[in-house]
């Protein structure tokens, strides 16, 4: 089984360290900074083989040049982000799109295009491990802002992730869950699963513990952005007859103002 370690960096970002014990392959997802990654790798006595990048924002890619310089690792990024990420090297790094598979030791990492937050956003799905790294597309109890995409694009991306096996572990890029829970309760206050989860989240954050990974099953029961067909949410928004995209767009607009 793949080993995954969360490294909290900057104000609320997570970097994921990956290790395949069967082959000794080492990787990192979305290193916004290099120093904590290099320090932890040194403690573990590991090198670095792969740097997986979900999108071009600097808080997810800023550590790339130093990590490459110190370790010689290769990067994997969206074809749409080639030229937008400092440090990507043509001919050395791997540019990917929907349906591509990257070999990570003994594991197959499947690429899912998930635009909406940015136009080139991708997510990485390790099917044999039922593990997803989704950057800023899907958050625990939330989703990313629409910086470069449309509500329709983001809804398609979220629907793609929601269709993964329910037991899938979901690793997102930020610790936003407590604020996401407050918004979720504002639009879905009568959801008992959500109320229980909000209490659990409060306890985790009071102890300084992360709220991820989450699972697809848990998000389907509690994340309002995946529950746009729920009658109670629609009634609360006054959008009983609206399309799924329209309801999603309204939720996202309300969250932006929340």
pLDDT score at 7: 97
Domain parsing of the chain, residue ranges: 3-171, 177-257
Q: What is the pLDDT of residues 103-129, one digit of tens each?
A: 999 999 999 999 999 999 999 999 989
121 given a catalytic annotation: no
57 given a catalytic annotation: yes
Q: What is the pLDDT of residues 160-201, one digit of tens each?
A: 999 999 999 999 999 999 999 999 999 999 999 999 999 999
Q: What is the pLDDT of residues 226-245, one digit of tens each?
A: 999 999 999 999 999 999 99
The answer to whether residue 90 scores a pLDDT higher than 90 is no
pLDDT score at 256: 97
174 given a catalytic annotation: yes
Q: What percent of the chain clears pLDDT 70, i.e. is strictly above it?
A: 100
Q: What is the pLDDT of residues 23-36, one digit of tens each?
A: 999 999 999 999 99
Tokens describing residue 102: 């990257």
- Cα 257 to Cα 106: distance, rounded to the nearest angstrom: 45
Q: What is the pLDDT of residues 143-156, one digit of tens each?
A: 999 999 999 999 99
State the catalytic residue, choosing from 30, 49, 56, 60.
Answer: 60
- Cα 57 to Cα 51: distance, rounded to the nearest angstrom: 15
Phi, then psi, of 122 in degrees rounded to 5: -130, 160
Tokens describing residue 244: 């799924």
State the catalytic residue, choosing from 55, 56, 81, 121.
Answer: 55
- Cα 79 to Cα 32: distance, rounded to the nearest angstrom: 19
State the catalytic residue, choosing from 20, 30, 49, 59.
Answer: 59
117 given a catalytic annotation: yes
110 given a catalytic annotation: no
Point out which residues pair with 5 in neighbouring strands.
Answer: 17
- Cα 131 to Cα 106: distance, rounded to the nearest angstrom: 15
State the catalytic residue, choosing from 20, 49, 81, 136.
Answer: 136
State the catalytic residue, choosing from 20, 81, 121, 174.
Answer: 174
- What is the pTM (predicted TM-score) of this model? 0.97
- 196 and 181 Cβ atoms separated by less than 8 Å: no
How would residue 249 be classed by pLDDT, with cut points 50, 70 and 90? very high
Q: What is the pLDDT of residues 133-144, one digit of tens each?
A: 999 999 999 999
State the catalytic residue, choosing from 20, 30, 49, 57.
Answer: 57
Q: What is the pLDDT of residues 41-89, one digit of tens each?
A: 999 999 999 999 999 999 999 999 999 999 999 999 999 999 999 999 8
The answer to whether residue 91 scores a pLDDT higher than 90 is no
State the catalytic residue, choosing from 81, 117, 121, 188.
Answer: 117
Encode burial over 6-27: b for 16+ CB neighbours within 10 A, e otherwise.
Answer: ebebeeebbbbbbbbeeeebbb
| Mean pLDDT, the chain, whole residue set | 97
CATH 3.40.50.1220 fits 3-171, yes or no: no
């Amino acid at each position: 089984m793949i080993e995954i370690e969360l490294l909290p960096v900057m104000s609320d970002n997570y970097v994921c360290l990956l290790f395949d014990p069967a082959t000794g392959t080492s990787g990192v997802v979305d290193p916004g900074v290099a120093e904590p990654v290099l320090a932890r790798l040194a403690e573990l006595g590991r090198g670095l083989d792969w740097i997986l990048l979900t999108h071009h924002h600097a808080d997810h890619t800023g550590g790339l040049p130093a990590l490459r310089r110190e370790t010689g690792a290769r990067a994997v990024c969206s074809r749409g982000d080639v030229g937008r990420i400092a440090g990507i090297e043509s001919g050395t790094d791997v540019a990917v799109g929907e349906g591509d598979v990257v070999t990570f030791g003994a594991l197959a990492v499947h690429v899912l295009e998930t635009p909406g937050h940015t136009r080139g956003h991708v997510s990485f799905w390790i099917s044999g491990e039922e593990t997803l790294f989704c950057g800023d597309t899907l958050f625990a109890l939330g989703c990313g802002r629409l910086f470069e995409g449309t509500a329709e694009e983001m809804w398609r991306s979220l629907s793609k992730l929601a269709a993964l096996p329910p037991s899938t572990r979901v690793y997102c890029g930020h610790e936003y869950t407590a604020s996401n829970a407050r918004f979720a309760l504002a639009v879905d206050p009568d959801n008992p699963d959500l109320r229980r989860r909000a209490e659990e989240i409060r306890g985790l954050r009071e102890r300084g513990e992360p709220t991820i990974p989450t699972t697809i099953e848990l998000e389907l029961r509690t994340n309002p952005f995946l529950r746009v067909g729920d009658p109670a949410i629609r009634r609360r928004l006054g959008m009983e007859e609206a399309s799924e995209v329209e309801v999603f767009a309204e939720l996202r607009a309300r969250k932006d103002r929340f």
